[in-house]
Structure 1
C-alpha cells in the first residue's frame, strides 16, 4: 500500500552480497547499454547506474538484495525496518525522507536513475512525473506490479483489472538486475523466491479458510480487495479473501461489514510509520478486542491473527514472506493441512 524480515530472504541476500561480484555475466554486461519497455515508457541506460535513487521501500529492498548499495544515492518512503544482513547494507544508503521526498531533495542527490514501486510516488501528485525526470536526462523505472493490469486513474490506491501475479514481482527483479548489469544475481534471487513459495505451499489445503487483510486505519480501515498482493498470497494458499468481490486495491470498508463477513483469520499490518491510526499490530489488536462491533468476530475471539510487515502486504519481494507466514499460521491454527 502506498501510504507508506524474512530471515530466509536476508540469508540469501547475504550470499548475493558477498558471492556475486565479478561474475562473468556481470562483467560482460557492465559496459553495455540496455533498453527495455516499462509501463509504457522506454527506459535506456547507457551504462549501469552508479547513483540510483529509490523512491519506495520495495524497489530499495530489491536493489539491496542485488548487492547494489554502493550504487545508490538515496532511498525514501518507508513502512518497515530492514533487518538481518540487509540492515548493514541499507545503513550505507542515504535516506532522503521517511515518506515521499521533494523533487528538489531527489535532484540534490544527483541521481542517474530513479525507481519507484508506485505510480502515486513517481507520477503526478507524487515526487514528480516520469517525464520530468526524463527531460532532465534521468531514466526512470516503475514497478510493473503497479501498472500491469491496474488502473491508477481513480481515487485511492487504484483498482485491478487483472489479478496480480508473482511473475510481475519476479520480472521487476530481473529488469533491475539487467539495467544494473547484474543478471546472474537477479536470476539467483528469483530462483530462491520461487523455491520458498513452493516450500511454503507444498501440500497445503486451505480451500475452506476465509481470510481478511487489514493494512491500516481503525476509523475507516483499509482492507485488501481481491487482486493485489494479498490476493496473490491468498491464491497461492488456495484460501479465500472475504473481500474478493471488490477489485479496488485497498477499499475502505465499515466495521459492520467486516463483522458480517466474519473471517476465520485476520492478517494485520505491523507498521512502524506514523501516518494513519492503528499502524502497529498491537494497536490493531487492541482495537479489535475492545470495539463492540469487532470483539465478537470469530478470528478475534479465537485470536487468529497473522502479523505481516507492510512490505509483505505490498507487491514486493516480501510478498513471499507473506505467503510463508500466512501458510504457517493456517497450519498452526489447525485450519489447513
Structure 2
C-alpha cells in the first residue's frame, strides 16, 4: 500500500482510537511564514496549488471543502492513482491560476508556497489576495524565500498538517497522519548504518544544475535517509550551482528528480555523458536514485522518499 493510500484510509477511519483534539474555536489565528492569518470560520471553497499540497488536503479528507486545485497537469504527469483521487475535483488552472480564476470560483482559501505558485512581487501573493477575501496559507518550507529560517526539516511538513488540521477543524485526522509519518521515518532510521555516502540532488539544467541547498526539503530527506548532502552548507532553497562545485564535492550518489518533459532517463544520460563530470564517483559507479517530484517536495510522500533513498544509499 502506498503512503498516500494509507493516508487517505486514515482520513476515512474513525478517529476514536486517537486522543481527541480540542475542536477549533473561531476566530482562529495561524502563523504563516512571517504573517498572522485569522480565520472566522473553516474555509468552504479552498484551492491547493501543486501536487504535494493537493495531496495534503486530500489526505486530510478536505475534498468536500475544496473548489479545486491548480498547477498539476501543466508541469507533472498525473499518475493513474492520483487521477482517481482527483476525480470530481476541478483543476482551475494547469499551471498558475489568475486572480480572476480564483474569484470566479468563489475561493476563500489558497494553499500555496513561494516558488510553488507564488513569487515575490507577483500577481498571486497574500498581499494581493487577502483584500479580496482569500486567506493564504504558505507552505512552511517555502518561507525561506521571504524570511530567514533554519534548515528544512520534516517538522515543516508536520507543521503544515497541524495548521491545516486547525484551520479546517480536522485536528484528529492531522494528528493521526503525522503520527503515521513519524513512525515510518523512525522505522527506516532504525536500519541505517553509520556510514553516510555523499549525495547530490539533481533536479534539472545543463549549463548549470538546478538543485537544493539546506533550506529545501531534499536536504532533510537526504539526511533522514542516512546520506550526507554535499550542499548542506549552502544557505538556499531551490537554487542553481555550477558543475565545478559538483565535481569538487564528488558525490557518491546522485538523486534525480523525475518530472516534466525531460525524463529521468534523459537526465541520467546527460550526466553520464557530460565530459566535465566523468571524475565524479557517482557517475563512474553508476549510482543513481530516481524519485518523483511529489516525493522531492514537502508533503506526505516524503516518508516514501526516505525509504527509497535509504535503500539506495545503503543497498547492503
Regarding TM over 0.5, the answer is yes
- Aligned residue among 65, 71, 89 for 2:65: 71
Q: Does 1:228 align with 2:222?
A: no
Is the counterpart of residue 311 in structure 1 residue 297 in structure 2?
Answer: no
Partners of 2:20 and 2:134 in 1: how far apart? Answer: 23
Between 59-68 and 48-57, report the one with greater CA deviation: 48-57
Q: Tell me the distance in 2 between the aligned counterparts of 1:246 and 1:28.
A: 40
Distance 1:329 1:93 in 2: 36
Shift of 1:36: 1.8
Partner of 1:3: none
Residue 329 of structure 1 aligns to a residue in which SS? helix
Greater alpha carbon shift after TM alignment, 28-37 vs 188-197: 28-37
C-alpha separation in 1, matches of 2:157 and 2:18 = 25
CA contact 1:263–1:298 (8 Å) conserved in 2: yes
Per-residue CA shift, 1:211-268, capped at 9, x if unaligned?
0001111232112223421211232234211222321223322223323322110001
Deviations 1:112-170 (A, max 9, x none): 111113266345443422122211122211112222xx2437xxxxxx64211211210
Unpaired runs of 5+ residues, structure 2, are none
Deviates more, 1:55-64 or 1:77-86: 77-86
- The equivalent residue for 1:8 is 2
Match of 2:228 in 1: 240
1:185 to 170, 173, 182: 173
Q: 1:324 to 1:80 in 2, by over 3 A?
A: farther
Corresponding residue for residue 264 of structure 2: 281
Q: 1:16–1:67: 8 Å Cα contact kept in structure 2?
A: no
The answer for the alignment partner of 1:53 in structure 2 is 47
CA distance 1:174–1:161, change in 2 (3 Å):
closer
1:197 corresponds to which residue? 185
The secondary structure found in structure 1 opposite 2:203 is strand
Moved more, 162-171 or 32-41: 32-41
Corresponding residue number in structure 2 for 1:36: 30
Q: Is the 8 A contact 1:80 1:309 kept in 2?
A: no
Who is 1:19 aligned against? Answer: 13
Correspondence 1:130 to 2:126: yes
Contact persistence 1:222–1:253 (CA under 8 A):
yes
CA distance in 2, matches of 1:26, 1:123: 38
Counterpart for residue 284 of structure 2: 301
Name the CA distance, whole Å, in 2 between partners of 1:27 and 1:245: 39
Moved more, 250-259 or 52-61: 250-259
TM-score (norm 2): 0.88
> 1:88-107 alignment to 2 at 5 Å?
88-107=84-103
Q: How far, CA to CA, are the matches of 1:44 and 1:268 in structure 2?
A: 39
What is the alpha-carbon distance in structure 2 between the residues aligned to residue 59 and residue 127 of structure 1? 20
- Equivalent position of 1:143 in the other structure: 139
Q: Take 2:183 and 2:77, find their aligned partners in 1: how far apart are those partners? A: 25
Q: What CA distance in whole angstroms lies between the structure 1 residues aligned with 2:193 and 2:19?
A: 41
Question: Is 1:256 aligned to residue 244 of structure 2?
Answer: yes
Alpha-carbon distance between aligned partners in 2 of 1:136 and 1:129, rounded to the nearest angstrom: 11
* 1:174 CA displacement: 0.8
The DSSP-based 3-state class of the residue aligned with 1:223 is strand
Q: How many residues align?
A: 314
Number of the residue aligned with 1:323: 306
